[in-house]
């Protein structure tokens, strides 16, 4: 699916789904986009490695949008706790001073051996990230991996409370930008390369997805991405205002604290001084 700007232009910008992209070291650089970018994710790390474009991308994205997201590609070959600590260090001590509003734990089968252990580790990683990160913590994973591993071996209530970033399913949704469509995107023939990949419905009780990576074929020129022929593009399942509210980014102006009442001792001393001054004044009159 490509970005159809006609679909974009047909919608009021305040009423469409929030739009963004995700990128890793495979994109050389980031420049000013031609269309509004509401949010963006970039890969900070994988295993115990730092993405080679981590520093560059975090700084450049922060110049384009203030809704910055980072994601870590989980490796089953490395202890999960070390990966979490590594990830947290990157998103809480960014060299550019960039502030991350959301982070994602990328749970995928590629280069991994997914199992009951991997699912349990993913859940522990998310719990730990929630403690160490002041923002939204998501899990990223396709329907099959999510259903077969996470929903099988992880507490359902916990998963229902974990925001979900859904990647690359085939879809019958004609306009991914529309906020009027809330059904689960159908996963069928991914990229046309896996015709036998079946649709697996999720068991999530609080909606099926929060972010949807609806296409891998975004226009890099319009998105301001250098060094790539195509870019992953995403929507949030709500408007830009909805997303900002959920991230608590535009809260009410804090009410100033009331004036501090004077210290009682100070009040008593001031009153005594005034009485003494009055007595001395009366003495001079007499």
Q: Is the pLDDT of residue 240 over 80?
A: yes
Contact 204, 154 (CB under 8 A): no
Residue 272 confidence (pLDDT): 55
- Binned at pLDDT 50, 70 and 90, residue 273 comes out as low
What percent of the chain shows pLDDT beyond 90? 61
- Binned at pLDDT 50, 70 and 90, residue 278 comes out as low
pTM summary value: 0.83
Over the stretch 132-152, which tens digit does the pLDDT of each residue have?
999 999 999 988 889 889 999
Q: Which 8-state DSSP code applies to residue 149?
A: I
Residue 59, C-beta contacts closer than 8 angstroms, at least 6 positions apart:
96, 98
Mean pLDDT of the chain: 84
Token pair, residue 226, equals 């250098």
The dihedral formed by the CA atoms of 88, 38, 97 and 79, expressed in degrees to the nearest 10: 10
Q: Which 8-state DSSP code applies to residue 99?
A: P
Q: Which 8-state DSSP code applies to residue 158?
A: H
Question: Among 27, 8, 5, 92, which Cα is nearest to 232's?
Answer: 27
Task: Kindly state the average pLDDT of the residues 55-66.
Answer: 96
Residue 216 confidence (pLDDT): 86
Kindly give the residue spans of alpha helices, DSSP state H, lying in the chain.
5-9, 54-64, 80-92, 116-132, 143-145, 151-153, 156-160, 220-223, 240-246, 264-285
Q: Alpha-carbon torsion 219, 221, 225, 226, what sign?
A: positive
Q: Which 8-state DSSP code applies to residue 148?
A: I
At 104, is the secondary structure helix, strand, or coil?
strand
Q: CATH assignment of 5-246, given 3.20.20.80, 3.30.70.100, 3.40.50.1580, 3.30.470.10?
A: 3.20.20.80
Residue 254 confidence (pLDDT): 47
Domain ranges of the chain: 5-246
Contact 40, 21 (CB under 8 A): yes
| CA–CA gap between residue 247 and residue 99 (Å, rounded) | 12
Select the more confidently predicted residue: 274 or 256: 274
């Amino acid at each position: 699916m490509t970005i159809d700007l006609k679909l974009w232009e047909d919608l009021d910008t305040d009423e469409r789904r929030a739009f963004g992209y995700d990128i890793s070291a495979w994109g050389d650089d980031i420049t000013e986009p031609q269309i509004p970018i509401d949010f963006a994710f970039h890969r900070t790390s994988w295993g115990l490695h730092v993405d080679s474009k981590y520093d560059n991308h975090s700084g450049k994205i922060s110049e384009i949008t203030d809704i910055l997201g980072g994601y870590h590609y989980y490796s089953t070959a490395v202890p999960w706790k070390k990966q979490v600590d590594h990830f947290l260090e990157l998103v809480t001590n960014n060299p550019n001073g960039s502030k991350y509003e959301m982070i994602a734990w990328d749970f995928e089968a590629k280069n991994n051996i997914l199992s009951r252990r991997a699912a349990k580790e993913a859940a522990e990683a998310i719990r730990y990230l929630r403690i160490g990160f002041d923002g939204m913590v998501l899990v990223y994973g396709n329907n099959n991996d999510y259903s077969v591993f996470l929903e099988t071996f992880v507490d359902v209530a916990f998963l229902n409370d974990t925001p979900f970033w859904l990647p690359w399913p085939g879809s019958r949704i004609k306009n991914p930008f529309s906020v009027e469509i809330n059904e689960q995107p159908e996963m069928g023939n991914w990229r046309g390369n896996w015709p036998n990949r079946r649709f697996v419905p999720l068991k999530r009780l609080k909606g099926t997805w929060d972010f949807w990576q609806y296409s891998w074929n975004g226009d890099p020129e319009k998105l301001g991405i250098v060094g790539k022929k195509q870019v992953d593009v995403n929507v949030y399942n709500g408007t830009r205002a909805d997303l900002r509210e959920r991230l608590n980014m535009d809260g009410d102006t804090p009410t100033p604290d009331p004036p501090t009442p004077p210290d009682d001792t100070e009040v008593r001393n001031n009153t005594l001084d005034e009485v003494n001054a009055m007595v001395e004044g009366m003495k001079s009159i007499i």
